[in-house]
Amino acid sequence: MIPFLQPLVSSIFIEEATVQDLQRAFQNKSLTSKQLVRHYRDKIFIQSPVLKAVVEINPDAMSQADAADRERAALAPGKSLGDLHGIPILLKDNIATKDKMNTTAGSLALLRSVVPRDASVVSKLRQAGAIILGKTSLTEWANFRGKRMPGGWCARTGQGKNPYNNKADTCGSSSGSAISAAANLAAVTLGTETDGSILCPSSNQAVVGIKPTVGLTSRAGVIPITPRQDTVGPICRTVADAVYVLDAIVGEDSNDEATIEASKYIPKGGYKQYLKIDGLKGKRLGLLRKFFDFTYDPGLGEAFERHFSTLSERGAVLVEHMDTSKFMEAINGIQDYEILATTAEFKLAINSYLENLEVSSVRSLKDLIEFNNKTPAEKIEEYGQERFLEAEATNGIGETEKHAIEELERRARDGFEKLMTENNLDAFLSPFGSTAFILATGQFPGIIVPAGYDNEGVPFGLCFGGLKGSEPTLIEIAYDFEQATKIRRPPFTRSSY
């Protein structure tokens, strides 16, 4: 076992080491992938019983690491195998792997089920040479089971804990991925979002989350909520690391039609070319101060005011005098339409997923409801399964659901899109991912970056949202902001619990 603060090379440590730090250590032979996997595995064994962030470790991770070390040793001098080669990654437990691990969405119902193939994003990660280290916990069924379920709870692990304050909200549903990235349980992690499930837990755990344009990353092999909004994205400690993961997982996939249209947004040469230290210069950022009114905690307001000054000092133009009436009208009540549409879409999507499993004891949403009723560990009496019951009562996409979807599209178009285009904005600012729902329902991208800590030590982030395909611009903005502020700090050690 490598001590947690053992130097890799000069002043570089495994704790908080970036992907490039690790690659340099590989290259100068001060670290191997096997040592790195062993380090993360040991740390998971120590901390996960407290944090409950990892549901299982891949029994093949060490053999994958050994193969990566052999490939690196055979490489000609001066050659590179890519940014993620030999790098361990944890996957949210709704992302399928065709291996010895389970894919369960945090539920006991899918234990020992067998998926037909790797999720497409997993295939891409394997092709990039990443080591699949294990699966992270999540708010069960991506927080689409019961209305009373707390963020970060799943039957496989129990309640996930925020590593900065174990009484604080982890948020969800990609809670385990955010906890793991924050607590240095893996080099990088992968999450999914339907509505806020990457942005919110990233904010609460002081990590970077990228919620991509819907279709930029394939959802094939991911346990679904709704194909209209589901997306897969990285959760990492730095913008650069998140971008390396994004570069590896984007692209057209014949098993996901949405990727065919969205692939037009992928820039030639990938996304890491947009990691620019002057990325904020000239950028027009929409600032609606109503979202930053923290009369209940003046310290939060002061922190964001400092950030606004930093953005201006770095060359950004803060656009405050905007007509936001259509935007505010658009977001008012939007979640009612979202729930109406998503409830029917979920039944169709989950039934299709379950029917296509090679092995499973449940084959429909009805089966899941019955399983939950018979399984005390699922805590149905305490946390409920109202979403499941409401979805089961639907009967496809009827006129009501079509109207709800059309209303979501109209509000995205007449609200957010018009606000962005009429004011020539490059990004829209929001705290904690508080406008995640408009990004979700409109299929827009967002990036959240650590922005500070409240008086309880709980992190909060600043979110940059944009129009479809605006990831290059958002990366430039987020990276420059991160480099100018350097706010992230690791959580306390295990002894703090």
The answer to whether 173 is a known catalytic residue is yes
Choosing from 173, 177, 360, 430, which is the catalytic residue? 173
Residue with tokens 């560990």: 377
Q: How far apart are CA 417 and CA 20, in angstroms?
A: 36
Q: How far apart are CA 464 and CA 35, in angstroms?
A: 36
Residue with tokens 């000092």: 313
The C-alpha angle with vertex 46 and arms to 42 and 52, in degrees rounded to 5, equals: 115
The C-alpha angle with vertex 223 and arms to 219 and 224, in degrees rounded to 5, equals: 70
The answer to whether 197 is a known catalytic residue is yes
- Amino acid in position 397: I
- Give the single-character DSSP code of 253: B
Q: How far apart are CA 260 and CA 105, in angstroms?
A: 26
DSSP code string of 301-334: HHHHHHHHHHHHHTT-EEE-----HHHHHHHTTH
Residue with tokens 């002061």: 302
Choosing from 197, 202, 360, 430, which is the catalytic residue? 197
Choosing from 34, 43, 92, 161, which is the catalytic residue? 92
Instruction: Please give the positions annotated as active site.
Output: 92, 173, 197
